[in-house]
Amino acid sequence: MASKGKRKQKGKSAENIGQESVTEVAPEQRHDFSYTQNRELSWLRFNNRVLDEAFDETVPVLERFKFVSIFESNLDEFFMIRIGGLSELARLKHQPVENKTNLTPTEQIDRVLEALLPLSIRYEDAFHKTEKNLDIGGVHRALPDSLGSDDRTFVERYFQSYVSPIISPLIIDPRHPFPNLRNGVLYLVCSLDKEDEHALVGLIEIPTSMNRVISLPSKKDEYRYILLEDVIRACLTMCFGAYVPRDQAVIRVTRNADIDPDGEGVEEEEDYRQHMKRILKKRLRLRPVCLHINGTLDGDMYKIIRKSLKLANRSIISTTTPLDLSYVEILETRLPEARRPTLLFAPFRPQASAMFEADRPIRDQVLEADKLLTYPYESMGTLLDLIHEAAYDDRCISIRVTLYRVAKQSRLCEQLIDAAENGKDVTVLMELRARFDEQNNIEWAGRLDEAGCTVIYGSEGFKCHSKICQITYKDDVAVTRITLLGTGNFNELTAKLYSDFMLMTAHEGIAADANDFFRNLSLGNLTGDYRYLGVAPAGLKPLIMNGLNREIDRARSGMPARVFFKLNSLTDREVIDKIAEASQAGVEVQMIIRGISCLLPGIPGKTDNVHVRSIVGRFLEHARIYSFGVDTDIVYLSSADMMTRNTEHRVEIAFPVLDPICRGLVQEFIRVQLADNVKARQLTSAGEWEKVAHHADETPFNSQEYLLQRAYANAVEADAAQRRRQMEAGARPRVRPVISADSTVPLAVGAALEEEPTEPVGSHFRRPDVNR
């Protein structure tokens, strides 16, 4: 129960920036900095790895253009969150230092800006080369200065008919002061002259309500377009009456978005949804972090804009590329059909899991044995079918679920509404603080509440990032539960784009833990005891430490010892130090880390036995795996990265894979990814990502392409088995992958690692989000 007035959380949330508090013991005495690197610089190197894909000529050119767009989008979010948070800390009189390199916020910002210059040059190079190749491939972007007479006539008519009635040109003067520029919105600025007035500033906001990409008349099998801001540029003389525009540029301000919703205080009688709406409005007005400029500004106009935004010169970034490349996604929908095969990957559709029989209820099959879905290679449709069955099953009495990010058009949420309207007890923990998805979650929370679902929100100071759903059935007097546990969100869109696992189990021990988990969430208890699940903030890090300690003890006893982690990021100092300890004890530590790794491998005497790889490809690698033992006898899947924000300041779940069939599938997945020598990179002791070395006669192996092919092959085999069952009266064998006797890994992978991969069959890649 809230106290009267407002609840305040003292200090800055570790969720936001994770800075260490200053103590009497000097950081250099508390930590060994010889095998760690700065988080922000590690992230920049990851984003540079993303940009590598834009230069890979084996990737179709529009797919390469998407990676250029992903790089820019990542960098925008990085500035809003990381640099925004550091900038606020840099204003403190006594700045804290981070625990990887002992740098203050000011020093970190300096290092980032220094590293950003060569990255920006490489980004512009990637953009221009890719756009040139698109032009050769029949996709052309027209520029204002190069419009032919027919195109200019078309653009001017379009401007007069559709754009001019909407825009509101503004002249900056004492009666019209410089406005508050909205975060991420494009503006066209220019200097204006008239007979008796000179060097005034003109400003036009580029309408966000209009299509950004305007199609131009094109030949058959070609696509020509112009961007909305360039339409306005081409018609700028029509915008300011008697004033003559001179220098002009498109600008976009990036504002700090690192705001702590709980630190802002919640009114006692205020609905939490209303509180979050208020926070979102406040975020729009936070301090500017940087300004991007595309075009030319004279000295006076540049100074006016800079002073209005209170930005230093180093925070102004000029570029030769358009600002906000999100329009690249629109191009895919506009391509002539004849161009698609050469400009895009062949389409891929997630396949039905071969672990299920199509003609039987999902519930019955999960009750027989655990099932494991592997996204995006296998479809989320199986899970959705289970929820749909439950919504209309008289035996189902309740559904409970945690939702962090849901699709705007969420079939899952619609099914939860159906279940509530059918009399089921539906409880939804909706995390309204999922950054940049807050508005969508607020809207769905309202709809679910109106439909009769019980909607609760995450605990103060602790985002609920776990992915768990439990369905409870009552057959006469018997109660059975099916528990769904995932490494990724219950989101139909990302399930087609992110590489994740979803475990479907009727294991009674896991069900009991899940039941306790939901009860504890309802009571605000974050320190519950669980037998099978590792639940942050209290129980997840001890699980990791215990697993590492077991392998350390084995190594010190002269036994083989091994640890494998697959993560998005590794920044938790305690975990880093324990991994270094394991390496020094002789434990082989293999990791696949997509993004940030503050741990440096191969440091003599410190991390010699640590090997770190990364895979960046069509799909976003998002699954988290914790595996212990040379025979991988302990396997956990999880929603949590090894970041302090996840291990100590969020509600996360790590869950064991107990079924030998499912565990074999995870082991196979690990082997396949470690065999990748095409999209994989390895981390050097200097913190750089370099290509995995392989022999000249070694067959190229792309793990994601192999998994795509395997999904198709499994679906074909399952379909054939289904037809055989239909022909054999009463025969319903369980469909399982073939398991080898000695390794518990499906035999198919061993053959695949020796054979040349087949041609690509699919393409999806979602922008990797910095803080997701």
Average pLDDT over residues 186-205: 91
Instruction: Using the predicted structure, report yes or no on whether residue 654 has a pLDDT greater than 90.
Output: yes
Instruction: Using the predicted structure, report yes or no on whether residue 18 has a pLDDT greater than 70.
Output: no
| SS3 label, residue 484 | strand
Whether a cis peptide bond, with omega within 30° of 0, leads into 537 is: yes
pLDDT tens digit sequence for 207-242: 999 999 999 999 999 999 999 999 999 999 999 999
Clarify whether 465 is annotated catalytic: yes
What pLDDT, on a 0 to 100 scale, did the predictor assign at position 724?
A: 84
Cα–Cα distance for residue pair 165/209, rounded to 1 Å: 13
* Residue % of the chain over a pLDDT of 90: 78
Instruction: Using the predicted structure, report yes or no on whether residue 270 has a pLDDT greater than 90.
Output: no
Instruction: Using the predicted structure, report yes or no on whether residue 756 has a pLDDT greater than 70.
Output: no
What pLDDT, on a 0 to 100 scale, did the predictor assign at position 12?
A: 40
CA dihedral 335, 337, 341, 346 (to 10 degrees): 90
237 close to 245: Cβ distance less than 8 angstroms: yes
- Token reading at 289: 């972090």
Residue-range domains of the chain with CATH: 28-125 (1.20.58.310), 145-267+287-343 (3.30.1840.10)
pLDDT tens digit sequence for 608-617: 999 999 999 9
Instruction: Using the predicted structure, report yes or no on whether residue 267 has a pLDDT greater than 70.
Output: no
H helix or E strand, kind and range, residue 192: strand 186-194
Backbone angles phi, psi at 254, to 5 degrees: -110, 120
What pLDDT, on a 0 to 100 scale, did the predictor assign at position 301?
A: 87
183 confidence band (pLDDT: 50, 70, 90) = very high
Instruction: Using the predicted structure, report yes or no on whether residue 285 has a pLDDT greater than 90.
Output: no
| SS3 label, residue 372 | strand
Instruction: Using the predicted structure, report yes or no on whether residue 741 has a pLDDT greater than 80.
Output: no
User: Is 532 labeled as ligand-binding?
Assistant: no
- Among the listed residues 292, 388, 465, 649, the single catalytic one is 465
Angle between helices 438-450 and 411-421 (to 10 degrees): 20
Cα–Cα distance for residue pair 420/471, rounded to 1 Å: 13
Average pLDDT over residues 385-414: 97
Backbone angles phi, psi at 649, to 5 degrees: -130, 20
Backbone angles phi, psi at 364, to 5 degrees: -60, -40
H helix or E strand, kind and range, residue 562: strand 562-567
Q: Is 532 exposed, middle or buried (0-12, 13-18, 19+ CB in 10 A)?
A: middle
Cα–Cα distance for residue pair 35/449, rounded to 1 Å: 50
More confident residue, 418 or 266: 418
* Residue % of the chain over a pLDDT of 70: 90
Instruction: Using the predicted structure, report yes or no on whether residue 7 has a pLDDT greater than 90.
Output: no
Average pLDDT over residues 300-313: 90
Average pLDDT over residues 302-317: 91
User: Is 594 labeled as ligand-binding?
Assistant: yes
Q: How many CB atoms lie within 10 A of CB 140?
A: 17
What pLDDT, on a 0 to 100 scale, did the predictor assign at position 279?
A: 78
pLDDT tens digit sequence for 132-149: 999 999 999 999 999 999
**Pick from 152-156, 513-517, 759-763: least confident:** 759-763
What pLDDT, on a 0 to 100 scale, did the predictor assign at position 381?
A: 96
Q: What is the mean pLDDT of the chain?
A: 89
User: Is 646 labeled as ligand-binding?
Assistant: no
536 close to 520: Cβ distance less than 8 angstroms: no
What pLDDT, on a 0 to 100 scale, did the predictor assign at position 759?
A: 32
What pLDDT, on a 0 to 100 scale, did the predictor assign at position 27?
A: 62
Average pLDDT over residues 446-454: 96
Handedness of CA 296, 299, 304, 305 (dihedral sign): positive
pLDDT tens digit sequence for 29-87: 789 999 999 999 999 999 999 999 999 999 999 999 999 999 999 999 999 999 999 99
**Pick from 169-183, 194-208, 566-580, 720-734: least confident:** 720-734
Instruction: Using the predicted structure, report yes or no on whether residue 393 has a pLDDT greater than 50.
Output: yes
What pLDDT, on a 0 to 100 scale, did the predictor assign at position 26?
A: 64
505 close to 482: Cβ distance less than 8 angstroms: yes
Instruction: Using the predicted structure, report yes or no on whether residue 742 has a pLDDT greater than 80.
Output: no
pLDDT tens digit sequence for 622-639: 999 999 999 999 999 999
Instruction: Using the predicted structure, report yes or no on whether residue 259 has a pLDDT greater than 60.
Output: yes
User: Is 622 labeled as ligand-binding?
Assistant: yes
Residues in the chain: 772
What pLDDT, on a 0 to 100 scale, did the predictor assign at position 769?
A: 46
266 confidence band (pLDDT: 50, 70, 90) = low
Cα–Cα distance for residue pair 509/511, rounded to 1 Å: 5
Residue from 80, 110, 108, 105 nearest 92 by CA: 105
Q: How many CB atoms lie within 10 A of CB 133?
A: 17
What pLDDT, on a 0 to 100 scale, did the predictor assign at position 551?
A: 98
Backbone angles phi, psi at 30, to 5 degrees: -85, -30
Q: How many CB atoms lie within 10 A of CB 149?
A: 7
What pLDDT, on a 0 to 100 scale, did the predictor assign at position 694?
A: 80
pLDDT tens digit sequence for 550-586: 999 999 999 999 999 999 999 999 999 999 999 999 9
737 confidence band (pLDDT: 50, 70, 90) = very low
Instruction: Using the predicted structure, report yes or no on whether residue 460 has a pLDDT greater than 90.
Output: no
120 confidence band (pLDDT: 50, 70, 90) = very high
H helix or E strand, kind and range, residue 624: strand 624-628
DSSP assigned state of 598: -
What pLDDT, on a 0 to 100 scale, did the predictor assign at position 258?
A: 82
